[in-house]
């Protein structure tokens, strides 16, 4: 198992690198090659058992569900969604910052999973959520309360009040998100306790983090909790290794990690300021892409721009996330084939780091929860031949700029990558002819999955596309 050596030197290294990153200025020559599989609600043994398939499917990273101790009433946390036998969101309710819970597994099981990830060269990132605790604050461990200085030091002054206006930055950063109690993330004792947890994960080889509800943790320009004696919102300075807290600091160079924040886009969100610290989610782009998929046409929809103030090479992108699938089922009505066509288009592009949400095993458009069990593998879509083909295409196209062509009716897309390859996508539920410009040389080509014939003549790509299908050609 790969472990990081925690040294004073590594802490010194991360100080300078954290300040140097410009995540706003786009480099038009930069190409992203990585992909993330969100192994949502899989437990550690299940992930380990499937690591070979994950790697062979072309995914370079996995994102686990939260691994810290969480809300766990007796007999619960067996089902994804059930009034008596648990809910997936229980692991989004921390009760302590120690590794292991009854959904994803124990610390020893995490260690075994890391051995498997290291064997197959897959980076593991963990979903962390320092912004809040469990709804029931009486379930929070006494050790946690003691570590932060007592229950009265755990939360912001108005942290037990729910947010009513998410565009009010005071409410957004100092009150409860979705009713979850808002932690005083500026409390140095909390920061120390949290960073000890982070460093423990890093010592096991974890290679990055997804920060849940990141936009609800304030940056310097946001209001501070003066009643709690706060002078500056410095959580992100501590979390990214710019400063130590009570002798504890991020244990590895920050730039060696893959870190992004769930900064869901809305009015008044200081995206550029968050970009100074980390990558961010391209939530608006995901919404626009799903709109095109749902309408089975991108006519009148601009899918070329990224709808974000940060540079696209520092965005984490998706067709859907666990929230869009589970919360209001915003994306759950899209068929697996529609999600797949969106994934191929998104992943063939030059920039962004796409995340593939693993839907529940056995899920259908009538039964979103499928087998409805925590811990088991998701459905087969993550190793569908089209998904594998585009994941590997993405890596093969390193250094090649994109050129996107869309048919007049908005149903057919071609993502050209220089003169080296092209991804072809039909989002219609009907067969479609193809005649769009390409950088490929004139000649005959057969796609990677189906072996279908495509012809390039005078710089135009011709072929016939089946409904809801994608093709990769080199």
Q: Hey, which residues are catalytic here?
A: 212, 262
d(CA 233, CA 222): 7
> For 349-410, where are the alpha helices, taking DSSP H only?
385-396
d(CA 103, CA 164): 31
Contact 312, 438 (CB under 8 A): no
Contacts of 298 (CB under 8 A, 6+ apart): 292, 406, 410, 411, 413, 427
Residue for token digits 């780091």?
353
d(CA 222, CA 206): 30
d(CA 265, CA 5): 37
Phi-psi region of 229 (alpha: psi -120 to 50; beta: other; left: phi over 0): left
Spatial CA neighbour of 36 closest among 109, 125, 114, 106: 125
Return the axis-axis angle of helices 336-348 and 385-396, rounded to nearest 10°: 10
How many CA atoms lie less than 13 Å away from 206 in the CB half-sphere? 26
> For 296-444, where are the alpha helices, taking DSSP H only?
322-326, 336-348, 385-396
Tell me the CA distances in angstroms from 104 to 155, 185, 373, one per residue in order.
27, 25, 12
């Amino acid at each position: 198992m790969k472990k990081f050596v925690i040294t004073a030197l590594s802490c010194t290294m991360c100080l300078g690198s954290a300040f140097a990153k410009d995540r706003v200025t786009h480099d038009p020559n930069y190409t992203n090659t990585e992909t993330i599989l969100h192994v949502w609600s899989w437990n550690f043994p299940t992930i380990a058992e499937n690591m070979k398939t994950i790697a062979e499917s072309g995914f370079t990273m996995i994102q686990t569900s939260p691994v810290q101790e969480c809300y766990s009433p007796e007999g619960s946390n067996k089902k994804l969604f059930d009034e008596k036998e648990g809910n997936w969101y229980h692991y989004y309710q921390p009760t302590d910052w120690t590794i292991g819970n009854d959904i994803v597994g124990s610390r020893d099981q995490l260690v075994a999973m890391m051995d498997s990830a290291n064997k197959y060269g897959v980076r593991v990132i963990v979903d962390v959520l320092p912004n809040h605790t469990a709804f029931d604050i009486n379930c929070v461990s006494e050790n946690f309360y003691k570590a932060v200085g007592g229950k009265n030091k755990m939360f912001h002054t108005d942290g037990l009040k729910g947010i009513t206006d998410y565009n009010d930055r005071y409410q957004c950063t100092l009150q409860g998100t979705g009713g979850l109690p808002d932690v005083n993330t500026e409390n140095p004792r909390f920061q120390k306790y949290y960073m000890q947890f982070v460093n423990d994960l890093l010592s096991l080889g974890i290679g990055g983090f997804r920060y849940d509800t990141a936009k609800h943790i304030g940056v310097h320009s946001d209001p501070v909790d003066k009643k709690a004696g706060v002078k500056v919102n410095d959580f992100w300075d501590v979390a990214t290794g710019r400063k130590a807290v009570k002798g504890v600091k991020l244990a590895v160079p920050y730039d060696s990690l893959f870190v992004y924040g769930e900064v869901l886009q809305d009015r008044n969100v200081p995206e550029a300021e968050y970009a100074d610290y980390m990558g961010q989610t391209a939530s608006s782009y995901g919404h626009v892409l799903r709109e095109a998929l749902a309408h089975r046409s991108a006519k009148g929809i601009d899918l070329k721009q990224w709808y974000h103030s940060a540079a696209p090479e520092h965005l984490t992108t998706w067709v859907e996330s666990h929230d869009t699938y589970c919360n209001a089922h915003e994306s759950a009505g899209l068929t697996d084939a529609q999600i797949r066509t969106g994934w191929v288009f998104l992943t063939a592009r030059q920039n962004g780091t796409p995340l593939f949400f693993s839907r529940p095993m056995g899920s259908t458009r009538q039964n979103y929860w499928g087998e409805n069990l925590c811990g088991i593998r998701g459905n087969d879509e993550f190793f569908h031949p089209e998904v594998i083909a585009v994941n590997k295409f993405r890596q093969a196209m390193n250094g090649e700029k994109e050129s996107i062509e869309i048919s007049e009716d908005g149903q057919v897309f071609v993502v050209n990558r220089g003169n080296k390859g092209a991804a072809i996508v039909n989002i219609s539920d009907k067969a479609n002819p193809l005649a769009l410009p390409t950088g490929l040389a004139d000649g005959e080509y057969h796609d990677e999955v189906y072996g279908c014939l495509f012809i390039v003549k005078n710089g135009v790509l011709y072929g016939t596309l089946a409904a809801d299908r994608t093709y990769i050609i080199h």
